[in-house]
Structure 1
Amino acid sequence: MAPPARPKLNLTTKERFANHFAPLRGQAYTETTTQQRGGNQDRDRNHTIRSIAWNPVGTLVATGSSDKTLRVWNPEKPNIRSSTELKGHQAGIEKVAFNPIKDAELCSVSHDGVVKFWDVRTKACVNEVKGLGSANSLAWAPDGTSLLVGNKSGSLYRISPTQSAILSSHPQPVETSQMSFCWSGQKVFLPNRDGEVRIVSYPELEPIAYVNYDAGESTEFVLKGHTAPCLTTELSPTGRFLATGGADAVICLYDTQDWICQRTISRILGPVRSISFTFDGRFVVGGCDEGSGIEVTQTETGEHVHTFKTAGPCDTVAWAPTRYCLAYSDLGILRIIGVDADRK
């Protein structure tokens, strides 16, 4: 296992944040050396990181790629020899996520229709669930006892890390993108291709609120903040804001008390594929597949704080759960900014 995480930095103001990160550069975690590549450019083009996930204590980072590569990294040791490759999927990996209460249990979702559960200490696949179609989204329930998996056909499946059979299936009227749970585990936020976010109960996946009209009719209450498909959601660690990212290149921040969109973030250049908050919820970033840079925004004010310069588009971003370290994909490789890779 990796060394314990370092103490948190006090970067509560945007000035401190910008001053701290301005001189830093992202550390590259490369899977091959120049000699090993041997000029195989096709392999490099196909190796696109689709998902990044930290374990709950911030000591491991997992990456899933379009070429079926699933790897777990020690963030303090960027050399590939310090990483672990997990083999078994027959198609590209769309999503990876650690169990929120177990630092060594990893789940991976692939287009092969199989969800696999791994013990990263032993490299063993400890369970798998088949027959999920072209799966492309995944969210753990906060207690770590079950998960939701979505596929491109619009179905959601509730599964268990300890059972090979699907617990329940829930066809959706519109394809659902990357969902997220509330911290109590009683509600799930489901973004869809209509640009809306449904709020449903868990595990039933039934609407929890309706809008009543004078004529006695009612309709399901949904969040409407995007003019194009809503692609992802993320709840802040404090639970105060729900962030939604859309194909309209906008992040909406909803207050979870009254469900009003308090502000929008529009500095992103393309569809928002992922969203991540810092551990304290004070700052948020979005990942997209256009442009070259990651924009950091102060959650409470909506003010721009800092831009992380990158070599290319970064559609996958993930803040560490315990400190100010940002993992992101850049030209097909993992980079982390804010980690001291030279620390002994």
Structure 2
Amino acid sequence: MAPSTRPRHTRIPKDKFSVYFGNVKSQSYNDSAPGRGAASHQSLRSIAWNPLGSLVATGSSDKTLRVWNPEKPNVRSSTELKGHLAGIEKIAFNPVKEAELCSVSGDGVVKFWDVRTKACVNEVKGLGSSHTLAWAPDGSSLLVGNKRGELFQISPTNSAVISTHQLSGDANQMAFCWSGEKVFVPTGEGTIRILSYPDLEPVFHVSHAVKEGESNEFVLKGHTSACLTTEMSPTGRYVATGGADSIIALFDTKDWICQRTVSRMVGPVKNISFSFDGSYLVGGCEEGSGLEVTHTETGEHVHTFKTAGPCETVAWAPTRYCLAYSDLGVLRIIDVDRK
């Protein structure tokens, strides 16, 4: 499947965002089969684009893993990948390979797929109730986390775990810096740890004295309750974090200061996505009926995409202004270049 060759908008100013997107209709990609029943709004758990933006994959709680051509919304043009024995929790394409997809499931198995042949090319078993994953930027390894707070470093070409690291709480959605030397790990206390990779040791420490028994590890603080997800901007200038307190916090990566917060979200923020140029961000929430788009540099609200229900997972395409999101269990894509 070749990427689209349609003309694309290179950069949309914030004061023109609603002008461009206001009259664009979303396209649904529905794989519901007769007899399957109506999808619940929570059934679609994860959305992932491949590096070229030519394919988009979806993982669902009903064990369905499907790869779509965004140009062809009919389910007959999609590819279903079968093999997991429990719901799909998180999926992500290898950042340097357009056809290699990784999926983690509640069955404790991580699978690597060649989406061209539908083949599972590698799997790593025994990882517990895994629900998060993050690829290293060079695509040579990745981190998988489970609900027991275990982090596993694994390889797409090895069926054995490379190393295991125990956290003090649940392993929520992590993100790498673009050099691959640091990984940002959200915690149940609302902080974000900055760990080296692959050693997973604290990168920074505070310079002031700490009380006996307290750690001198420097952490990012931006939430009043659990931090659930992190995302690095494409420019590398910001780390965005989403919390159970319905807040998105933006930290600069020079001084590690929280520059601004986004408080228009409704309900816990389950994931965050930046547009390809880093200009805009959007968060997926457990509640509400709309997607709020924020201008990264100013924190200004620029647009609301109205939805039928909560949208827990969202993903901007990596090459253009094209947003994929879940709405009542269905994949929808809104593309400013689609006429």
What code does the residue aligned with 1:158 have? Q
- What is the deviation of 1:339? 6.2
Q: TM-score, normalised by structure 1?
A: 0.95
Q: Note the aligned Cα RMSD (angstroms).
A: 1.6
- What is the deviation of 1:341? 6.5
What code does the residue aligned with 1:332 have? G
2:102 is paired with a residue whose SS is strand
- What is the deviation of 1:47? 7.0
Aligned to 1:326: 323
Q: TM-score, normalised by structure 2?
A: 0.96
What code does the residue aligned with 1:28 have? S
**Contact 1:277 1:284 (8 Å CA) reproduced:** yes
**Contact 1:46 1:66 (8 Å CA) reproduced:** no
- What is the deviation of 1:44? 2.3
**Contact 1:11 1:17 (8 Å CA) reproduced:** no
Q: Distance in 2 between matches of 1:230 and 1:311?
A: 26
Aligned to 1:123: 118
Seen in structure 2, the aligned counterparts of structure 1 residues 5 and 93 have a Cα distance that, compared at 3 Å, is: farther
Q: Distance in 2 between matches of 1:215 and 1:125?
A: 49
- What is the deviation of 1:12? 3.1
Seen in structure 2, the aligned counterparts of structure 1 residues 205 and 271 have a Cα distance that, compared at 3 Å, is: same
1:184-195 paired onto structure 2 within 5 Å: 184-195=179-190
Is 1:313 equivalent to 2:310 in the alignment?
Answer: yes
**Contact 1:250 1:268 (8 Å CA) reproduced:** yes
Q: Distance in 1 between matches of 2:210 and 2:187?
A: 28
2:15 is paired with a residue whose SS is helix
Aligned to 1:264: 261
Q: Distance in 2 between matches of 1:166 and 1:275?
A: 28
**Contact 2:101 2:115 (8 Å CA) reproduced:** yes
Seen in structure 2, the aligned counterparts of structure 1 residues 5 and 114 have a Cα distance that, compared at 3 Å, is: farther
**Contact 2:210 2:216 (8 Å CA) reproduced:** no
Q: Distance in 1 between matches of 2:110 and 2:210?
A: 46
- What is the deviation of 1:289? 1.3
Q: Distance in 1 between matches of 2:229 and 2:57?
A: 19
What code does the residue aligned with 1:8 have? R
Aligned to 2:16: 16
Aligned to 2:3: 3
Of residues 45, 48, 73, the one that matches 2:68 is: 73
Say which is worse superposed, 5-14 or 313-322, in terms of deviation.
5-14
- What is the deviation of 1:2? 3.5
Seen in structure 2, the aligned counterparts of structure 1 residues 5 and 249 have a Cα distance that, compared at 3 Å, is: farther
**Contact 1:5 1:322 (8 Å CA) reproduced:** no
Seen in structure 2, the aligned counterparts of structure 1 residues 74 and 237 have a Cα distance that, compared at 3 Å, is: same
Deviations 1:97-123 (A, max 9, x none): 000000000000000000000000000
Aligned to 1:304: 301
Aligned to 2:194: 199
Is 1:236 equivalent to 2:240 in the alignment?
Answer: no
2:206 is paired with a residue whose SS is strand
Give me the identity figure in percent.
69
1:1-344 paired onto structure 2 within 5 Å: 1-32=1-32, 36-38=33-35, 40-41=36-37, 44-45=39-40, 48-214=43-209, 219-338=216-335
Q: Which runs of 5+ in 2 are unaligned?
A: none
Deviations 1:236-293 (A, max 9, x none): 0000010000000000000110010000000001100010000000000000010100
Q: Which runs of 5+ in 1 are unaligned?
A: none
Q: Distance in 2 between matches of 1:260 and 1:212?
A: 16
**Contact 2:41 2:327 (8 Å CA) reproduced:** no
- What is the deviation of 1:5? 4.9
- What is the deviation of 1:191? 0.3
Number of residue pairs the alignment of both structures matches: 337
What code does the residue aligned with 2:274 have? F
Q: Distance in 2 between matches of 1:190 and 1:25?
A: 36
Q: Distance in 2 between matches of 1:183 and 1:334?
A: 28
Deviations 1:3-26 (A, max 9, x none): 335443144311221100000121
Kindly report structure 1 stretches of 4+ aligned residues shifted beyond 2 Å: 2-8, 43-47, 212-218, 339-342
Q: Distance in 2 between matches of 1:302 and 1:21?
A: 19
2:39 is paired with a residue whose SS is helix
Q: Distance in 2 between matches of 1:327 and 1:277?
A: 12
Q: Distance in 1 between matches of 2:279 and 2:90?
A: 25
1:81 is paired with a residue whose SS is helix
Q: Distance in 2 between matches of 1:305 and 1:233?
A: 22
1:18 is paired with a residue whose SS is helix
**Contact 1:5 1:59 (8 Å CA) reproduced:** no
Q: Distance in 2 between matches of 1:214 and 1:12?
A: 47
2:20 is paired with a residue whose SS is helix
Q: Distance in 2 between matches of 1:326 and 1:110?
A: 24
What code does the residue aligned with 2:318 have? P
